[in-house]
Chains A and B, each alone.
Chain A
């Protein structure tokens, strides 16, 4: 899973008549604006370094003009590399000759474009088989492979349609099928869903994720949409002005933004769709470990001494059993049922949430219950609670 498949080292792109001079200026320590003023050349990508692991979705995010499209095009050298290396499976793409490059593009890396870029004169199946036909595969075989790819994206019913007869979402599915048909290790997706309307976009993201469950491909996804990046990215690289300023998992970046630019990105983001209960759960509440010898009275004593209204009852291995309140305990004691089993004192309607539930999913529970909501991990162990206060605080912080 963590096998590295792409390694980018000190990658630069300078657009202009003499990129070599530009590189000299960069080595002298001039920045992007100074170089532009002096020579009129634009630094597209500056000292990019990152690695992509096999099977992950790596999102490169940035505003337009941040160099993300340039960066992804240097991975298959649609744009020539000015300086630096791109190792794909140990082979430096920058060193490849024309033949090697053709091989790389035909077999290892394929691409999905923002504008779909389907051939209008070819029907759906020929479009899906486009890469295979360039590799001179015979018609029967390439149609078979293209059909498989079309089935994967749910377009098996339209092989003979032409692109202009399809909706945007369907066209991009053809684009995706075209990329999948060559069975690449690496999929480059340049703003692949940006031209689609939000509903279709979400649908396509889901489809990509479900495809990814079946075949673990390495996907490099370019996006300017943070919600999209958060939704599909295993890791995210954030670019600004040609530089990569932060690489990390969505959580890491959200919790600890590298600078104001990154933070600004998140300002517009709805944290409830990204943060999960596990991220904001706190162990601030009183817990009561239930075992023989410690009955309801001990529990009540503990709540009163800690000035808490609610107590969270666990067994010895921290498994969650229920929630009690001072009132429910008092009632239980006055009924004088004795014994150390006070499960009758548990409050009704307590539904613990999972650490993986997003804030959006637990908001109802948090809002309607008077007690902080217990959060359990996959082993049903108690990890903390989400109170209204914590919830609101999280919202306000962003």
Chain B
């Protein structure tokens, strides 16, 4: 008997996964198409909304948000940025991307913040969630892109779902961190004055963890924006489209312009969400 030198495959994991995905697609595709409905509806609604509202109203809205959370100088910058986006002919794509980002970040926040709070308060939950988050963050997007497309078909919804998978971990992690960093004395003081578990959470822990939670939202937005191009590969519209098409046709100008649009949008959203975290 000779020594096994790892030159043969013993575990056929690839074919198992293949079989698994096949079963999932064949038997549960209808189910996934069903889940897709509400996402598709809200996405289309949001996209329609952003693209129907007069651009100047949207610029005004962002200007107000910036004045409130950041400052006057930043407002000047934000307004200029949006005007530049418009002048570059990227307005419609930007609004589509914005609606995708808003939707996926909203979903990430609704699911991620409670998960983060739960893992901040319980070591067991944290131990369970941590490897899951690692997987979500490090698995190359291309690996789950295909199954996602097989289940949800090509289009913006698949793009949003892929974005959610990738963008969710930071908000969970940073919420968890924020809750854990609340001084134990403050929690104790809350309890000493007769706070219930819920009151400790609402009156002590969340306000204290707020900057960290907002940093999580901020990071999630950045991650969502970084998925825009990859999402474009599976037919999601928006600013990823010119980049993707430009690369396909070796149209460097087009690709770069799309890229600049993404960066500009990222800078605006980054400023505003950072300000929201610090002001509170």
A: residues with CB less than 8 A from B are 76, 78, 98, 102-107, 110-111, 113, 115, 117-121, 130-131, 133-135, 178, 182, 188
Contacts and interface: CB of A to CB of B under 8 A. Distances in A.
A113 B185 contact: yes
Given A117-B183, A117-B186, A119-B186, A78 B192 contact: yes
A134 B203 contact: yes
Given A117-B183, A117-B185, A120-B208, A111 B199 contact: no
Given A76-B192, A113-B189, A134-B203, 16 more contacts: A78-B192, A102-B194, A104-B194, A111-B189, A113-B192, A117-B183, A117-B185, A117-B188, A119-B186, A119-B189, A120-B208, A121-B207, A130-B203, A134-B194, A134-B195, A188-B192
* Secondary structure of the B contact surface, majority rule: helix
Nearest to B210: A121
Nearest to A122: B207
Contacts of B191: 78, 105
Contacts of A115: 183, 185
5 contacts: A106-B194, A113-B189, A117-B188, A182-B193, A188-B192
A48 B151 CA distance: 66
The 5 closest A-B pairs by CB, nearest first: A106-B194, A105-B194, A117-B189, A131-B193, A111-B192
Interface string B99-118: 00000000000000000000
B196 interface: yes
Given A115-B185, A117-B185, A117-B186, A131 B207 contact: no
A130 B207 contact: no
Contacts of A188: 192
A115 B194 CA distance: 19
Contacts of A120: 208
B249 interface: no
B208 A121 contact: yes
A113 to B, nearest CB: 6
Q: Chain B interface: which size bin? A: 10 to 19
Contacts of B208: 119-121
B280 A121 contact: yes
Contacts of A105: 191-194
Interface string B174-207: 0000000001011011111111100100011001
B193 A110 contact: yes
Given A119-B204, A121-B208, A131 B188 contact: no
A324 to B, nearest CB: 63
B196 A119 contact: no
A322 to B, nearest CB: 58
Contacts of B194: 102-107, 131, 134-135
Contacts of A78: 188, 191-192
A178 B193 contact: yes
A120 B186 CA distance: 9
Nearest to A106: B194
A178 B207 CA distance: 19
Nearest to B197: A98
A104 B192 CA distance: 10
A182 B186 CA distance: 18
A130 B193 contact: yes
Nearest to A109: B192
B188 A134 contact: no
B192 A110 contact: yes
A76 B207 CA distance: 25
A106 B190 CA distance: 10
A133 B193 CA distance: 10
Contacts of B190: 134
A112 B210 CA distance: 25
